[in-house]
Structure 1
Amino acid sequence: MRFTTPPASGCGSIPLHSTNCWQRCLNRRQKDDAVLQHVTFHPPQCTPHAALHTDDPLVVLRFAADALLAGMATALVTLTDIRGGSSRPRGAQMAVREDGQYCGVVSGGCVEAAAACEALEVIHTGCYRDVVYGQGSPYMDIVLPCGGSITLHIRPLYQAQPLLTVLNALGRRQAAGLRWNADMPGVTAVTGAVKTGRDGQTFQVGYRPRARLMIAGRAIAPEVTAKIAQAAGYEVFSCDGWRPAHAAGGIDDDTAVIVLYHDLHQELPFLDAALGASPFYIGALGSARTHQRRSERLLQLGYAPQAIARIKAPIGLFAKARDVSSLALSVLADVAAARTAMLEGH
């Protein structure tokens, strides 16, 4: 099933979920609410199940685009409002196909199956909806352990092109976004940096390229750091895969440069490349005394104190890591903290 044109708006329906609590809650609401007495209840056509467990927005968008290109009706679920605590940020998404398979997470695992049921109903009716879970929600059998409540906007998708536009931009290491409002069907693509949030009747979700790590160094520390970074989903280039002379085009706003040499002479070309670009993080190995010598050398080379201050040294989130695994975790935790601060505008 695939919609070629948006269906008429104004339809109303509520999915019939399988749990007794859902049934009792909906029965009570239907009995007490004059509007709900005229709402049609549709039993689910299939059982939702997770095809991919991921919070990577690129994977979610690719999953949705592939489904649409294969002729499968698909809905996009977006976390739009948070009241109190939430394990996922505003703009977190999941995509649901007409066969019940879904990809992505919008909570800590509390609501995904229920949200997928709602998405199947949206696919069935063609009408978008907002669903509240947690405090104040009629769905009393779905409890958010962190307290508060979340609102999910569930919207049918009609074309793969907006998703492909975003994916192509991200593939070129460019920011992009998706936007929609109450008066439009589907979603539209937005090029350039987009801040996730609401603007009047419009909601938009911004996407940035995958964080890239450029790791320079020798011995075992760079190797272990690269392996853990790859497992965490970073795009990784080791010192074997890049050279300072060719780094200018590869270091962008979504890049972290990690220098793990114990030799000032060897690390200077990499620091020179990093300071000549705009990475969100630059870190270098060594003690405070080593960094003092490093700073003096960079001053001699003509770098301003403000530029040198961009280097995090000693590198890492916690000091004096004595084994390579601890060092790698310390470095990557520091990178993740810097990335989060950048994305949140701090």
Structure 2
Amino acid sequence: MPHSFSGLADLRQCTPQPAFLTDDSSEILRFAVEALMSGQAAALVTLVAIRGGAARSLGAQMVVREDGQYCGFVSGGCVESAAAFEALEVMASGRDREVCYGEGSPWFDIVLPCGGGITLTIHKLRSALPLLAVLNRLEQRQPAGLRYVPRTQRLSCLSALTRTGWYHDGFEMGFQPDVQLMILGRSLEAQATAELAAAAGYDIVASEPLPVPIDADTAVILLCHDLDRELPVLQAARDAHPFYVGALGSQRTHALRRQKLRDLGWRDEEIARIKAPIGIFPKARDARTLALSILADVAAARLHQGEE
């Protein structure tokens, strides 16, 4: 244990344990809100710097309650318990802190398998309002952010698309709405894709009847073997700019699709946004392999969207 407790007696007796396993940001923030609303103290741990390699991305978070229960990850599982002990001290003292693990850290007994180093900020949550504001925006399918200023120990909600990183004297964390998959088709391929997507935790929304709730966090997946049925969905997606549009069919089928769209006034750069044939690897013939190929392609596109 890096430090000895100097705070409340009951915190000294806590042994950190994971409440449940998740790296979903909304679940982590809800865990914090529920703790605060029930009268428990809680701390927010955020990954704010990476030296070399790391298991998690900048901005990864975990929440620790005063009873030692925590959720979330800031590494691959190798520092979370130690970080939870630090969070208990922060709750006891009321003073936020910054800690380092791995490369550049004073704790030689905590080594990151990746060989790099990470820096965490630990903030004692004083209000649920910033977290509730973020969750409310995400529920409305709007992007949001949190800004933490170590000097003032203040956390606030940002009501805009936020890029994660340090800005001036504060660290900002961006949050995006959950990915929703719009799957058009009553085919075996559509069924297999929907089943696999549900197992992976994606939200699945109906594509018919129109209008459809397409936004920048939507993946449009066309698996209906019918170009005429595709057109209303493609037209709806044209101005909504979903992060992914993919369609089933051969190169010949896509040539016919392109011509239909040109006849409707589509520009070549708009047509080029459609991934066809759909999927991350070609010539997937059976439904399950195709479903895996499609979802891998969606996941890759989402990752690229977050890096832009």
The TM-score range, normalised by the shorter chain, is over 0.9
Cross-structure match for 1:292: 255
The answer (yes or no) to whether the contact 2:218–2:242 under 8 Å persists in 1 is: yes
Q: 1:214 aligns with which of 182, 185, 192?
A: 182
SS in 1 for 2:58: coil
Q: 1:163 aligns with which of 114, 125, 131?
A: 131
Distance in 2 of aligned mates of 1:228 and 1:114: 36
Distance in 2 of aligned mates of 1:206 and 1:281: 20
Aligned-residue Cα RMSD (Å) equals 1.8
Residue identity over aligned pairs, in percent, reads: 55
CA drift at 1:330? 0.8
Cross-structure match for 1:141: 109
Paired letter, 2:47: L
Counterpart mapping for 1:29-178 below 5 A: 44-178=12-146
Distance in 2 of aligned mates of 1:199 and 1:219: 49
The answer (yes or no) to whether the contact 1:15–1:44 under 8 Å persists in 2 is: no
Cross-structure match for 2:169: 201
CA drift at 1:244? 5.2
Q: 2:268 aligns with which of 290, 295, 305?
A: 305
Counterpart mapping for 1:194-273 below 5 A: 194-237=162-205, 241-243=206-208, 245-247=210-212, 250-273=213-236
Distance in 2 of aligned mates of 1:323 and 1:123: 54
The answer (yes or no) to whether the contact 2:17–2:70 under 8 Å persists in 1 is: yes
TM-score relative to the length of structure 2: 0.95
Deviation digits for residues 286-312 of structure 1, max 9, x if unmatched?
A: 111111111011111221111111101
CA drift at 1:182? 2.4
Cross-structure match for 1:316: 279
CA drift at 1:325? 1.4
Distance in 2 of aligned mates of 1:135 and 1:100: 26
Moved over 4 A (4+): none
Paired letter, 2:249: G
CA drift at 1:14? 5.7
Distance in 2 of aligned mates of 1:45 and 1:152: 24
SS in 2 for 1:214: strand
Distance in 2 of aligned mates of 1:147 and 1:14: 20
SS in 1 for 2:240: coil
CA drift at 1:130? 1.0
SS in 2 for 1:227: helix
Paired letter, 1:68: L
Gaps of 5+ in 2: none
Deviation digits for residues 139-178 of structure 1, max 9, x if unmatched?
A: 2222211111011111100111111011001111111111
Is the alpha carbon distance of 1:185 and 1:73 closer, same or farther for their aligned partners in structure 2, counting shifts above 3 Å? same
Q: 1:276 aligns with which of 230, 239, 242?
A: 239
Distance in 1 of aligned mates of 2:3 and 2:223: 55
Gaps of 5+ in 1: 1-12, 18-38
Distance in 1 of aligned mates of 2:107 and 2:194: 44
Deviation digits for residues 266-319 of structure 1, max 9, x if unmatched?
A: 222222222232101100011111111110111112211111111011111111
Distance in 2 of aligned mates of 1:139 and 1:229: 41
The structure with the larger Rg is: 1
Deviation digits for residues 24-48 of structure 1, max 9, x if unmatched?
A: xxxxxxxxxxxxxxx99x9842111
Is the alpha carbon distance of 1:244 and 1:269 closer, same or farther for their aligned partners in structure 2, counting shifts above 3 Å? farther
SS in 1 for 2:196: helix
Paired letter, 2:210: A
Distance in 1 of aligned mates of 2:199 and 2:179: 13
Distance in 2 of aligned mates of 1:286 and 1:147: 45
